[in-house]
Amino acid sequence: MSTDLAIDYNTGDLMIAPSNDVGIRTGTETLEQEIRIRLRVHAGEWPLDPWGGLLGSHLEDAARMPTWRALTDVERIVREALAPMENLHVRSVDSRIDPKDERKILIDLTYSVVEPTGETADTTTTLSTSLTTTG
C-alpha cells in the first residue's frame, strides 16, 4: 500500500491531521492526489521533476483561453498530463461548461488502476475537478 503526505487540493499546503501530525494519504487516495498534482502543476515548471519535464499539465494555459476554446482542448490536455502514469488507465475525460458560471469548465475523469502485473482493474473511479477560464 502506498503512502504520501496529504496536500490540501485548494491551497497546495500540507494538511495537518486531527492529532496535529502531518496528514497522510494511503492506498487509492495517493493516486487521486498524484492525478490532482499533475493537473495543477504547470508542465515543465517544477525543477525537481523526475520525469524530465513530463510532470504537469497545460491546464493553466487553457485557463487563459476563451471558455469555448478551452473546452475543446481539455480532454487532450488531461490525457497528455496523465499519460506518463503507468499505474493509471484513463477511461474517459468529460468536460462541460458549468451552468452556474459560464467561465468555469467542469471536468470528470474516469479511470482504472493498472496493477503492478500490468493488468487493468475492472473497477472505475471518477474524479471531478474544474477549470476557470478568462471567459
pLDDT at 49: 67
Q: Is 13 a member of any domain?
A: no
What radius of gyration do the chain's Cα atoms show? 16
Q: Is 24 a member of any domain?
A: no
Look at strands 24-26 and 3-5 and give their pairing. Answer: antiparallel
| pTM (2 d.p.) | 0.84
Q: Is 56 a member of any domain?
A: yes
Closest CA to 54 of 85, 18, 75, 95: 85
Closest CA to 63 of 44, 39, 81: 39
pLDDT tens per residue across span 64-102: 999 999 999 999 999 999 999 999 999 999 999 999 999
pLDDT tens per residue across span 12-51: 788 888 888 888 788 888 899 999 988 998 887 877 766 6
CATH number at residue 44: 3.10.450.40
pLDDT at 35: 94
pLDDT at 65: 92
pLDDT at 42: 85
Q: Is 67 a member of any domain?
A: yes
Looking at the structure of the chain, the number of domains it has is: 1
Give the DSSP H/E element, type plus range, for residue 63: helix 59-63
Assign 6 a pLDDT band (cuts: 50, 70, 90).
confident
Q: Is 86 a member of any domain?
A: yes
Check whether 1 has a pLDDT greater than 80: no
Assign 3 a pLDDT band (cuts: 50, 70, 90).
confident
Grid cell, residue 105, equals 469548465
Q: Cβ-count burial of 129 within 10 angstroms (0-12 exposed, 13-18 middle, 19+ buried)?
A: middle
Grid cell, residue 108, equals 470528470
Question: Which residues sit opposite 92 in a β-bridge?
Answer: 110
Q: Which domain holds residue 117?
A: 30-132
Mean pLDDT taken over the chain: 89
